[in-house]
């Protein structure tokens, strides 16, 4: 971690686009009319969406959190996006996870229990956002207050609100929430053909979207969208990890956080290897469950195993074409977005379906953040002749009717913003309140739909049953977020409305979290940076000690001595308040501890791909171009 000297007058206020992904988070901004992803001071453009929290409650985010996952599996949270705006009942595959998921009574959401403390998905996402923001601020001397944040197109209202709340908790004024495939189209559309029908296939770490857009002279109009918010590269990893172990071995690993974590890392690296190689050999050594495995997986085996997942995505592609009443030959361009589209068989299936190779010129990991940056400059008023986005709502919205049915008020794929009104009345004499249950989804019965919230209209003047005329207005704004207002027409009294989101936070709860978060407090920024730095340094020391203690035997004595010395150096630096000294000492310690972390990784797993070592395959180095990865 490095902190630039704060030179007054040199910091630029920047409006950025942020891709808050299941696995990675990226920040981009416009420079001379061109979007570019902001690297940190080490040149890394990707902040892994991983948060590691140790026993003392200290948090590390990003690459370092990823390294700590092996030592602190139950305290390292990844794929948090899957839990945004979700209840516990929505999350089915908990046994895959090395960390503990519980129900938060206050918000009815799924939350994480780490060393006895509860964290909401919004809070964890806010930590990721804060880290990504800090990295960008430090490397380019920026101050980031305003941003456009992207979400999967198929995110429902609760998931969108949770994302916006995460931004607010991180101290960001969220100008807009935009859909990931739409952002990608924007990034591609800038210097691509100006007219035509484009299909965006967006397979990310944890979510899948497909959107159809019509491009006409700078207007990007979404015709239809569909997706699956629980399908992505994570599932490819899971499928691959089942190939690595037989049934008995899987049972052995079950329930052991450390072994599960190692298995997931092994699967991830094998997956990446198999995008460019025909086979990969994986060596897993898991002493904690008494298991040693060496398996070779061929690309053919892997592709056969993930074929059902790709079939699911192709069904969605057909669905969206059908919805727009178009045939594959009507599509002018196909665009690949999301890291999982590096998988050669995904590209091959798209080429087969549309009879033309999909676009992969822009890095599939970066293209969404780039599009968000373009939109950020438009909504901030910096780019006045920029593109216009006309998007749609992915899911229908309705209200529960008597008998558990549903009346739909806004249909899926309706252009937004959109407004719909519905009249209600009272059932009994002198009734002063009406309760309304708002639902989202396509099924016919209320119980099969996602509950967005229950709204109670109070303050209706007493009158005969059926006389009251309550007009309820549903309004979906440009962010795809629903607002409900109500008025009693006969008396002119505006009925007050209590909004209780089913899965999510009220405005007050978000305010409290904002006040809680250090990031937003009205104190001296330099003092904060110092406090942050000290907490992080303390955490680095604890991690290094633990690594030394448990895994020190893996490395030569000289390295152990180096770590000891570096710990002492950092401890000494922490006595003082000189940021640069602490920062330098922390960097020395990180450098010295790295061989142990690598040795740990090498010890539990080894992926061999024709003479390459794991470092070449897994690597945290940024991949700058999709072409590097693409098959020749």
Q: Is 285 helix (H, G, I), strand (E, B) or coil?
A: strand
What is the Rg, in whole angstroms, of the alpha carbon atoms belonging to the chain?
A: 26
Q: Does the annotation mark 327 as catalytic?
A: no
Q: 53 or 380: whose CB is closer to other proteins?
A: 380
The torsion angles phi and psi of 199, rounded to 5 degrees, stand at -110, 125
Q: Does the annotation mark 13 as catalytic?
A: no
Q: 421 or 630: whose CB is closer to other proteins?
A: 421
Lookup: tokens for 566: 């570096």
For 401, the enclosing helix (H) or strand (E) is: none
- Catalytic residue from among 54, 202, 237, 583: 202
What is the nearest approach in angstroms of other proteins to the Cβ of residue 105? 34
For 294, the enclosing helix (H) or strand (E) is: strand 291-298
- Catalytic residue from among 64, 140, 180, 536: 180
What is the nearest approach in angstroms of other proteins to the Cβ of residue 577? 40
Q: 322 or 524: whose CB is closer to other proteins?
A: 322
- Report how far residue 69's alpha carbon sits from residue 264's, in angstroms, rounded to the nearest whole number: 11
- Report how far residue 586's alpha carbon sits from residue 563's, in angstroms, rounded to the nearest whole number: 11
Q: Extract the runs of DSSP E, i.e. beta strands, from 44-203.
A: 47-48, 51-53, 59-61, 76-77, 100-103, 110-114, 117-119, 142-151, 173-179, 195-203
Lookup: tokens for 18: 């942020």
Q: Does the annotation mark 81 as catalytic?
A: yes
- Report how far residue 371's alpha carbon sits from residue 315's, in angstroms, rounded to the nearest whole number: 26
Q: Does the annotation mark 19 as catalytic?
A: yes
What is the nearest approach in angstroms of other proteins to the Cβ of residue 397? 14
Q: 285 or 473: whose CB is closer to other proteins?
A: 473
Do residues 597 and 547 touch, judged by C-beta distance below 8 A? yes
Q: 10 or 384: whose CB is closer to other proteins?
A: 384
What is the nearest approach in angstroms of other proteins to the Cβ of residue 330? 13
Interacting residue ranges for other proteins, rule: CB under 8 A: 175-176, 216-219, 221, 315, 318-319, 322-323, 325, 375, 378-381, 384, 388-390, 414-419, 442, 475, 477-478
Alpha helices in 205-364 (DSSP H): 233-244, 247-253, 257-274, 299-323, 344-354
What is the nearest approach in angstroms of other proteins to the Cβ of residue 219? 5
For 512, the enclosing helix (H) or strand (E) is: helix 507-516
Concatenated DSSP letters of 527-558: HHHHHHHHHHHHHHHHHHHHHHHHHGGGS-HH
Q: 227 or 233: whose CB is closer to other proteins?
A: 227
* Residues annotated as part of the active site: 19, 81, 180, 202
């Amino acid at each position: 971690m490095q902190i630039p000297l704060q030179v007054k007058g040199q910091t630029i206020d920047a409006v950025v686009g942020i891709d808050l992904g299941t696995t990675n988070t990226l920040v981009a901004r416009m420079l001379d009319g061109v979007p570019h992803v902001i690297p940190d001071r080490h040149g890394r453009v990707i902040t892994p969406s991983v948060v590691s929290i140790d026993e003392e409650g200290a948090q590390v985010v990003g690459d370092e959190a990823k390294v700590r996952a092996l030592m602190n599996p139950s305290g390292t949270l990844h794929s948090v996006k899957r839990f945004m705006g979700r209840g516990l009942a929505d999350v089915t595959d908990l046994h895959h996870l090395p960390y503990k998921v519980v129900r938060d009574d206050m918000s009815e959401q799924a939350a994480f229990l780490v060393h006895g403390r509860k964290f909401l998905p919004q809070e964890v996402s806010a930590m990721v956002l804060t880290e990504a923001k800090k990295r960008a601020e430090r490397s380019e001397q920026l101050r980031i207050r305003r941003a456009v944040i992207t979400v999967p197109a198929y995110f429902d209202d609760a998931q969108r609100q949770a994302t916006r709340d995460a931004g607010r908790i991180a101290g960001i004024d969220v100008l807009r929430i935009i859909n990931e495939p739409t952002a990608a189209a924007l990034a591609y559309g800038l210097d691509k053909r100006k007219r035509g029908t484009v299909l965006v296939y967006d397979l990310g770490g944890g979510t899948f979207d497909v959107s159809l857009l019509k491009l006409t002279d700078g207007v990007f109009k979404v015709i239809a969208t569909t997706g699956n918010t629980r399908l992505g590269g994570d599932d490819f990893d899971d499928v691959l990890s089942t190939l690595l172990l037989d049934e008995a071995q899987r049972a052995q690993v079950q329930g052991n956080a450390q072994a599960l974590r190692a298995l997931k890392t092994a699967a991830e690296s094998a997956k990446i290897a198999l995008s460019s190689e025909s086979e990969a050999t994986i060596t897993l050594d898991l002493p904690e469950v008494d298991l040693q495995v060496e398996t070779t997986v061929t690309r053919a085996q892997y592709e056969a195993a993930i074929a059902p997942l790709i079939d699911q995505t192709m069904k969605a592609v057909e669905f969206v074409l059908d919805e727009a009443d178009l045939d594959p030959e009507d599509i002018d361009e196909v665009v690949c977005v999301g890291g999982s589209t590096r998988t050669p068989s995904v590209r091959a299936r798209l080429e087969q379906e549309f009879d033309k190779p999909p676009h992969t010129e822009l890095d599939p990991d970066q293209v969404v953040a780039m599009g968000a940056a373009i939109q950020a400059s438009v909504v901030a008023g910096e780019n006045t002749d920029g593109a216009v986005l006309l998007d749609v709502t992915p899911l229908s919205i309705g209200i529960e009717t008597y008998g558990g049915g549903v009346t739909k008020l806004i249909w899926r794929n309706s252009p937004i913003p959109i407004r719909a009104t519905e009249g209600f009345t009272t059932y009994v004499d002198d009734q002063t309140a009406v309760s309304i249950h708002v639902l989202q989804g396509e099924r016919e019965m209320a119980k099969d739909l996602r509950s967005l919230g229950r709204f109670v209209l109070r303050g209706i003047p007493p009158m005969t049953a059926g006389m009251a005329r309550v007009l309820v207005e549903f309004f979906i704004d440009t962010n795809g977020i629903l607002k409900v207002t109500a008025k009693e027409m006969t008396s002119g009294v505006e009925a007050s409305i209590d909004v209780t989101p089913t899965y999510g936070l009220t405005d007050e709860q978000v305010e409290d979290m904002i006040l809680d978060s250090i990031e937003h407090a009205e104190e001296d920024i330099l003092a904060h940076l110092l406090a942050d730095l000290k907490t992080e340094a303390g955490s680095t020391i604890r991690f290094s000690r633990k690594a030394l203690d448990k895994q020190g035997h893996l490395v030569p004595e000289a390295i152990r001595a180096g770590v000891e010395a570096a710990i002492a150096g950092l401890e000494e630096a922490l006595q003082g308040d000189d940021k640069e000294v602490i920062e330098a000492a922390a960097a020395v310690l990180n450098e010295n501890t790295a061989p142990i972390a690598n040795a740990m990784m090498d010890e539990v797993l080894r992926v061999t791909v024709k003479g390459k070592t794991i470092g070449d395959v897994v690597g945290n180095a940024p991949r700058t171009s999709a072409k590097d990865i693409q098959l020749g």
